[in-house]
Amino acid sequence: MGNFAQLVILGLLAGGVYVAVGVGFGLVWGVLNIVNLAHGALVIVGGYITWQLFTAYHLDPFLTLPIDAVILFALGYVIQRGVINRVIRAPLLFTFLLTFGINLIVINVLLLIFKSDFRSVTPSYSGSGIEIGPLVIPYTRLAALAVALLLAAGLAFLLNRTRTGLAIQAVGADRDAAQLVGIDLRHTYALTFAIGAACAGVAGGLISLIQAITPTAGEPYTLQAFVVVILGGLGRVSATVLGGLLFGLIEVFAQSIPGSGSVYANAIAFGLLVLVLVVRPQGLIGRLR
């Protein structure tokens, strides 16, 4: 039973990262109807900004998170306003391929700048943690979970309680009606993507604390963000939080299966994904659209 509790704690901690990665991805998908294949690459950009600030200026990694968010917000705004807005009404394959092209560019520019070496962010407190029985919970992972939940709460507040957020939701619900009531579509689209990218930046900062990063380290996160968003359901921040934590739990429990549980991580994740899609396409608590 102690083992079970241990796995639950580990699963929730792993889920924190997935929540952070998932919320931005889910926002862009839900509102813009774009599956952003460059999301993982943007996450890793955030990771490199944190790494750069930490190694060059010895800034505390958690203090770099707002900087990650601001830089990626600007980058996201430019990408959407300059490029994606031009094909947003084209069939979905085109936005798929477009974001894949952006993914390719971002990853390879990172490769040119930072090379493919593993980089890790190791502040003085990275080794220490709380001991609960036999289990040691690193402070960084605990803080990462807290930051992820705060990020999700902040995003939910922004979307549901501010004029900007309501405009974003209106655009997501009905583009033409939103335009009729005077919402600037181009700006709102760009803003939505920018907020999604900012979330990705924060997620990247957190990830750089947890694992060593390379320019290609973001690719699995794009795929996992899919699963997380679909698991919870599209269209709500709370659904993504649920999906992310659940995905973390499933991953940790699957890896604890004796034998070859760990090598089937992707197969389990995607098996689950297909199952959810076929049985309950709206996700656990999502809205069908």
Partner 1 sequence: MTGFRSLPDRAGQRWRRIFLVLGAVVLVYALAAPLTSLDAAQSAGLPLLADKLWFRIATIIAMFVVMASAWNIIGGLTGYAAFGNVAFFGIGAYTCGMLVARAHWPLFLALTVAPAAAAAFAALIGVPLLRLRGHYFAVASLGVSVAVGEVIQNLEMGSKPVFGGASGLFLPIFRSDYRDLLFFYLMVAAGALTVGITWWVLRSRFGYGLIAIRENEEAASVMGVNTTAYKVAAFALSAALTGLAGGIFAQWNVFINQENVFPIEYNIQMILMALVGGAGTLFGPVAGAVALQLLIQFLSGSLPISADLPFVPADARPIVAQVILGLLLVVTVVFVPRGVIDFFGGQSRFSLSFLRRSLRETSV
Q: Are 141 and 13 in contact (CB under 8 A)?
A: yes
Cβ-based neighbour number of residue 166 at 10 Å: 15
Q: Measured from the CB of residue 207, what is the shortest distance to partner 1 in angstroms?
A: 20
| Footprint on residues 142-171 left by partner 1 (CB under 8 A) | none
Q: Which position among 3, 55, 108, 211 is part of the footprint of partner 1 (CB under 8 A)?
A: 108
Element (H, E) at 219: helix 219-232
| 144, 226, 247, 252: which one binds partner 1 (CB under 8 A) | 226
In the chain, count H helices and then E strands: 11, 2
Q: Which is nearer to partner 1, 107 or 209 (CB)?
A: 107
Tell me, by CB under 8 A, how many residues bind partner 1: 50
Alpha carbons 114 and 131: distance in angstroms, whole number:
36
SS3 string of 64-82? HHHHHHHHHHHHHHHHHHH
Q: What angle do CA 2, 264, 244 make, to 5 degrees?
A: 65
Should residue 67 be labelled a site residue for partner 1 when binding is judged by CB under 8 A? no
Name which of 2 and 281 has its Cβ closer to partner 1. Answer: 281
CB 201 within 8 A of CB 104: no
- Nearest-approach distance from CB 13 to partner 1, in angstroms: 24
Output 32 or 121, the one with its CB closest to partner 1. Answer: 32
Its sign, for the CA torsion 30, 31, 36, 41, is negative
Return the closest-CA partner of residue 147 out of 192, 191, 209: 209
- Check binding of 238 to partner 1 (CB under 8 A): no
Residue of 173, 186, 211, 288 interacting with partner 1 (CB under 8 A): 186
| Three-class secondary structure of residue 185 per DSSP | helix
Whichever of 156 and 277 has its CB closer to partner 1, that residue is 277
Q: How far is the CB of 197 from partner 1 (least distance, A)?
A: 17
| Cβ contacts of 28 within 8 Å, gap of 6 or more | 34, 36, 39, 192, 193, 196
Would you give the binding string for partner 1 spanning residues 23-62, x where CB under 8 A is met?
------x---x-x---------------------------
Count of residues making up the chain = 289
CB-nearer residue toward partner 1: 36 or 140: 36
Which residues form the interface with partner 1 (CB under 8 A)?
A: 29, 33, 35, 83, 85-98, 100-105, 107-109, 111-112, 175, 185-186, 189, 223, 226-227, 230, 260, 263-264, 266-267, 269-271, 273-274, 277-278, 281
